[in-house]
Amino acid sequence: MFQGIGRFSVNRPWLVTLGWLVAAVALVVLAPQLKATSDQSEFLPSHYESVRAVSLQQEAFPQGRQPAAIAVFQRADGGKLTDADSKDVVEVASGLQAKDFPKVDKVVADPSAVSPDGKVALGYVLATTDTAYDQALVESVRKLREAVPGQLKGTELELGLTGPAATALDAQEGSSRTDAMIMMATLVLIVVLLLAIFRSPVIALLPVLIIWLVFLVAMGVIGIASDVTGLEASSSISAILIVVLFGVGTDYTLFLLFRYRENLRQEQQPKEALAAAAGRVGETIASAAGAVIVAFLALLLSSMGMLSNMGLSLALAVAVTLLAALTLVPAVFSLLGTKAFWPSKSWRKQPRHTLAERVGRLASRRAPIVAGVTGALLAVMAAGVLGFKAEYDSESSMNSELESVQAMQDMRHSFAAGQSDPTMVYVRAAGDASLDEEGLAEYRTALAGVDGVDTVSPAQLDETGDVARFSVVLDFRPTQDQAIDLVAGDLRETAHAAAPEATEQYVGGTTAVLADIRDAVNRDYALVFPVAALAIMVILALMLRSLVAPWFLMLSVGLGFGGTLGATVWVFQRGDDGLLFMLPVIVYLFVVAIGTDYNILMVARLREEIREGRDPREAAALAVKQSAPTIGAAAVILAGTFGVLMLAENSMLRQMGFAVAFGILLSAFVMATLLVPALTTLLGRKAWWPGNRAAPESPETGADPVDEEEREPLAPVRTP
């Protein structure tokens, strides 16, 4: 099949290239934009209590929503607010209200909402929409900010906007800057590395142009899929898609170009060499991409929409990249022929790969030592996992210079830490029962008595009197671990146990959402991890026709996962600060799935050498010599593209960039190049059971087969 696809693409290059161009233009014009949101409650299924609380809020208090944004007023000199300042606060709010911003219902200031130290007064931006993350509302908050300086003229006040809509605005603007920076840095990195590898400006630039076309097609396909499924993506998904598409796309292009160049060195004609290369590496690339795709699709089992959409988006991106590697890349290089290598002549020369040869000898001759040392090294690094602390505070990852972050800090200096985003407790009368003032007052007292609660507002009833709402201000920041533990534990327990009879109770708000996300993530880890591992093992078993090899391959990848996550803990986790709560699943999927690519390339070469009659030690030595240069070049480029995320303003993207880049390098240079060949040598032909039974048995000797000069000449270097 892959031979046929390769020949078709090479022999009809204009047709294939034109087809991709038409698809790209059509999708750019017609496909819907990928929807992104920062509202974490939208990522949870409806059965979680915090989501049911949101539904009750929208039903019972449609005109009594939480503020979309909070205006934090203080004096420019940092002193206490005067009576004149208080009047100015009201006038500024009225001036902003008069400007009539879309989706903004009211801009109000409460003269009584002054901090205990007298230094901060609050105003509120109330919206006409159910969600503070509505794009039109977020745009209105931006215009509000632009109007603030004019309203403050003649006063001694400063004003900063924070709260959900203002934070979403800063996150979006930061994401746009991050995407542009990551795109530019990724392109520069890929061009420089390809130029260093091939010494050809054509090959340095052409893959970037090809992958850019693939990027447009993939984004269109993902947009359509998200529109059909109704899933919304995290606001950071675009940055991840950039590095995945450009990193994986460059990897697959390299696999093809290395084999194409090797065939040319064997004096094959360009089209013949390219078609043979596309056919030969097609199965390997398809198997590698298949492992990545099924690992990403395992995220569809997640109960969180954020992870489900990420899995679907990344799986589609890799699938489109695979299709391009099998069709578009051969077609484009078929049009250029050997001119693609201009002006370099190195493609005509046979490289020695001296370093790779030495590494191969080491892995085959000292297999027990290599396996023991590398395994121990990975185990030591993996010990850091024991100290992993999940961080659910997305706000802490934002740049401290952003207005929403600074205003929030100013607010928390003068108010209780939870004032910015109170936890909401709802009580609804069940059946024919009704709520009475005495019962609600006792309930409020019980909530206020929970350790860690600062204040509880009096009950606010809906129009029918069937639903009561309490605003609970905590002593902790809404996204702190202490707040999440409190809401998930004592506060929820008290809210349910102390409620009036014949009522339903729901605890909602940001902190409650995070508590439910924590439960959902823990559940997902227990399901997604084993399903993804099992799916990858099935692909490995089918490709290698072995029931043994998949087990030690997944063992090595598992050690790589532990070593990667442990190293990230050592590097980034300090004091009370934790790591991105999704980091384990991201590292697992990227390192296990993409890292398996390199193992697949290595074991595919090992299997070839075994089938040619070489004993396991010689096969391991030759496989490393012939495959390590390709794996090394691909890993450096892929790790570099993920490493670009470390330039982002968002600390969670920096953690992700380091973890995945480190894990890829670990997979390539430790697992695929050392550990896997050593384990394969130790197991011998048993590693391929029940396959390769027809392979001739070569007597194993104590000498190093690669060092025996009287043996038949080594097969020409063939890069997977």
pLDDT value, residue 14:
93
Q: Please name the residues in contact with 474: beta carbons below 8 A apart, sequence gap of 6 or more.
A: 416, 417, 418, 422, 423, 452, 453, 454, 483, 486, 487, 511
Distance CA 30, CA 256 (A): 32
Separation in Å, CA 75 to CA 78, 149, 417: 5, 14, 20
Pull the structure tokens for residue 9: 């693409």
pLDDT value, residue 174:
66
**Is the four-CA dihedral 149, 150, 154, 159 of positive or negative sign?**
negative
Distance CA 129, CA 328 (A): 46
Query: Of 292, 293, 325, 194, nearest to 598 (Cα)?
Result: 292
Give pTM, 2 decimals: 0.72
The parts of the chain modelled with pLDDT lower than 50 are: 693-720
H-run or E-run covering 427: strand 423-429
Residue by residue, what is the 3-state secondary structure of 38-54? CCHHHHCCCCCHHHHHH
H-run or E-run covering 474: strand 467-474
How do strand 467-474 and strand 453-456 relate by DSSP bridges? antiparallel
Phi, psi of 351, deg, nearest 5: -75, 155
As beta bridge partners, residue 56 has none
Q: Please, how many CA atoms are within 13 Å of residue 513, restricted to the half-sphere of its CB? A: 24
Hey, how many other C-beta atoms are within 10 angstroms of the C-beta on 227? 14
* CB burial readout 352-387, b (16+ within 10 A) else e: ebeebbebbbbbbbebeebbeebbebbeebbebbee
pLDDT value, residue 714:
37
Helix axes 549-572, 651-666, angle to 10 degrees: 140
Eight-state DSSP code of residue 340: G
pLDDT value, residue 234:
56
pLDDT value, residue 576:
67
Pull the structure tokens for residue 445: 């007292």
pLDDT value, residue 560:
87
Hey, how many other C-beta atoms are within 10 angstroms of the C-beta on 716? 11
